[in-house]
Amino acid sequence: MKLCKFLPALLAIFFFASLSVAAEDTAKEVNTIDELVAMYDDSGCAECHQEIYDEWKKSWHAKAIVSSLKGMRNFVAVGLAQEWSKPVTKAQILKCVDCHAPAVNFASEELAKEIAGMIVTAFEKEGTKAGDEAKAELAKLNVGCLSCHNIKATSVSRGLRGDPVKDAVYGPHGNDSEGHSTIQSKTLTRSVFCMQCHGIYYAPDGEMIQCNTLSGSYANAYLNLGGSQTCQDCHMKKGHFFPGGHDLETVKEGLGLKVEVTSYQHLPGQIPGVKNEAAWVPSAVVDVFVKNKAGHRIPDG
Ligand code: HEC
Ligand code: HEC
Ligand code: HEC
Ligand code: HEC
Ligand code: HEC
């Protein structure tokens, strides 16, 4: 019981210790996509984890930038440039890529801007040499092995655990191997780990970004009604393939349901029928009265 007295002091020490580590680690920022990829290189993981690598490669996590190009181009070229007249900065582009390609946190300001430019080029010049080149570069960025097993592994408990240890692999069991030293992270097995990306992003400037409202409905409409499975229980049955709305079998598992969708602002784009007006598009309100067996709202998550 005596420990309680010292706990605040101990926590404070941990906290400040982790802050100073953070300052050192995040100081390193790189200027090219290839350096960024090398920093969190996961091509080597395949050597010993071939099956997991192949599953991941087929997952949406492996193409999290190139499959979302249209929305990202609209954010940069319509939202920032036209609607809000804001300069493209690293802080702005992180409002998308902190989740879609976490390694970009370690890009220099210049590289982050360059990536924003590539997103616009890849979408607007699709099919041309310039467009295809930009897309090929962007395809190197994604939610990779080390996005989950390092960069995002400690962020839901950063106050206590600090920034991740560079070059370590965070895993559910904590067994070292000949390939890497491993740090145990139970967080990886919990829903909060997924919810940091499948939820709301609070930007340093106070803006709230929400791609989907899944975590909210998981907490409010599933856990609250007695549901007890984690995201991992349902979505990692097939390992790292992470099936979801693009997988027919998983969709069937989740059907028939009752969904109540409150309206919210979707990504910037064109409002149908309004000539040349770009705006945050309000999403449709949908009511579906079938039975929902998924752990959250569907089909939009
Ligand atoms: C670093 C951020 C991040 C983390 C952590 C993360 N995801 Fe994702 N996830 C994404 C992004 C971004 C996409 C969308 C990729 C795309 O469509 O371009 C995605 C896509 C998915 C999909 C596919 C959805 C579909 O439409 O088929 C599933 C399922 C999924 N994630 C489940 C999970 C689960 C379960 C966890 C926790 C174990 C998790 N994710 C952790 C960022 C993340
Ligand atoms: C909090 C983390 C997070 C942030 C920040 C974020 N996204 Fe996403 N995004 C996701 C996840 C997770 C998915 C996959 C959702 C799903 O399949 O249900 C996704 C999916 C998408 C999709 C595919 C949607 C679809 O209907 O297929 C697009 C496009 C997209 N995001 C664009 C953006 C843009 C543009 C930004 C910046 C304004 C952004 N995202 C910011 C996490 C995020
Ligand atoms: C979207 C996040 C995410 C990505 C991307 C990801 N993993 Fe994982 N991985 C997890 C989670 C979460 C667990 C723990 C699942 C559990 O035990 O509930 C896990 C578990 C593992 C395990 C332990 C499996 C076991 O038997 O317990 C290995 C090995 C692994 N991942 C390797 C990889 C490799 C290699 C890649 C890249 C090819 C990768 N992961 C990409 C989230 C991810
Ligand atoms: C030289 C082979 C080798 C390479 C390369 C390798 N691993 Fe592993 N990894 C292993 C072995 C073996 C284990 C199982 C250790 C055990 O359970 O005793 C393991 C376990 C893991 C685990 C689970 C750890 C735990 O106990 O919680 C994760 C996560 C993981 N590896 C991720 C990765 C990622 C990500 C990469 C690439 C950056 C990678 N590994 C590269 C051999 C390798
Ligand atoms: C009880 C099982 C279950 C739980 C728990 C669960 N899901 Fe799902 N999830 C499903 C099923 C089934 C689907 C397919 C339904 C559909 O999209 O029609 C799905 C779909 C998804 C999709 C794709 C949505 C889309 O855009 O089509 C994502 C992303 C996702 N889940 C992530 C998560 C995350 C993150 C958590 C934890 C916060 C979670 N799920 C918890 C069963 C579950």
pLDDT over 60 (residue 113) = yes
pLDDT over 90 (residue 286) = no
- Quick: pLDDT tens for 193-217: 998 999 888 888 888 888 776 777 7
pLDDT over 70 (residue 33) = yes
Residue nearest to atom 20 of ligand 4 (CA): 177
Centre of ligand 2 from the C-alpha of residue 64, in Å: 8
55 CA: nearest ligand 3 atom: 38
Long-range Cβ contacts of 240-247 (<8 Å, 24+ apart): 240/52, 240/55, 240/56, 240/59, 241/55, 241/56, 241/58, 241/59, 242/59, 242/60, 242/61, 244/60, 244/301, 245/298, 245/299, 245/300, 245/301, 246/60
How far apart CA 6 and CA 4 sit, in angstroms, is: 5
Cα 62 → chain centroid:
11
- Band of pLDDT at residue 299, cut at 50, 70 and 90: low
pLDDT of residue 159: 62
189 lines ligand 4 (CB under 6 A): no
Q: By C-alpha distance, which of 294, 288, 300 is closest to 218? A: 294
Residue nearest to atom 37 of ligand 2 (CA): 96
- Quick: pLDDT tens for 42-73: 999 999 999 999 999 999 999 999 999 999 99
pLDDT of residue 143: 97
- For 282, phi then psi, to 5°, come to -70, 135
CA distances from 87 to 56, 83, 262 (A): 35, 11, 32
pLDDT over 80 (residue 291) = no
Cα 261–Cα 207–Cα 145 angle in degrees, nearest 5: 80
Centre of ligand 5 from the C-alpha of residue 112, in Å: 31
How far apart CA 225 and CA 218 sit, in angstroms, is: 10
171 lines ligand 3 (CB under 6 A): yes
- Band of pLDDT at residue 241, cut at 50, 70 and 90: very high
How far apart CA 13 and CA 160 sit, in angstroms, is: 10
| Phi/psi-derived region of residue 19, left when phi > 0, alpha when psi is between -120 and 50, beta in every other case | alpha
171 lines ligand 4 (CB under 6 A): yes
Residue nearest to atom 18 of ligand 1 (CA): 64
Any idea which ligand is nearest the CA of 211? 2
Query: Do 68 and 93 meet the contact criterion of CB atoms below 8 Å apart?
Result: no
Residue nearest to atom 13 of ligand 3 (CA): 188
Query: Do 138 and 122 meet the contact criterion of CB atoms below 8 Å apart?
Result: yes
How far apart CA 193 and CA 186 sit, in angstroms, is: 10
69 CA: nearest ligand 2 atom: 29
Greater confidence (294 vs 92) lies with 92
Centre of ligand 3 from the C-alpha of residue 221, in Å: 27
pLDDT over 50 (residue 161) = yes
Q: Which stretch of 39-53, 108-122, 238-252 has the lowest confidence by average pLDDT?
A: 238-252
How far apart CA 281 and CA 134 sit, in angstroms, is: 27
- Band of pLDDT at residue 258, cut at 50, 70 and 90: very low
Any idea which ligand is nearest the CA of 296? 5
Residue to mutate, 211, 297, 298, ligand 2, most ligand atoms under 8 Å from C-beta? 211
- Band of pLDDT at residue 162, cut at 50, 70 and 90: confident
Greater confidence (32 vs 243) lies with 32
Centre of ligand 1 from the C-alpha of residue 72, in Å: 16
pLDDT over 80 (residue 267) = no
Centre of ligand 5 from the C-alpha of residue 187, in Å: 19
- Quick: pLDDT tens for 124-147: 999 999 999 999 999 999 999 999
Going 34 to 40 to 41 to 46, the CA torsion angle's sign is negative
98 lines ligand 3 (CB under 6 A): no
pLDDT over 70 (residue 274) = no
Mean pLDDT over all residues of the chain? 80
Centre of ligand 2 from the C-alpha of residue 142, in Å: 12
pLDDT of residue 288: 43
pLDDT of residue 130: 97
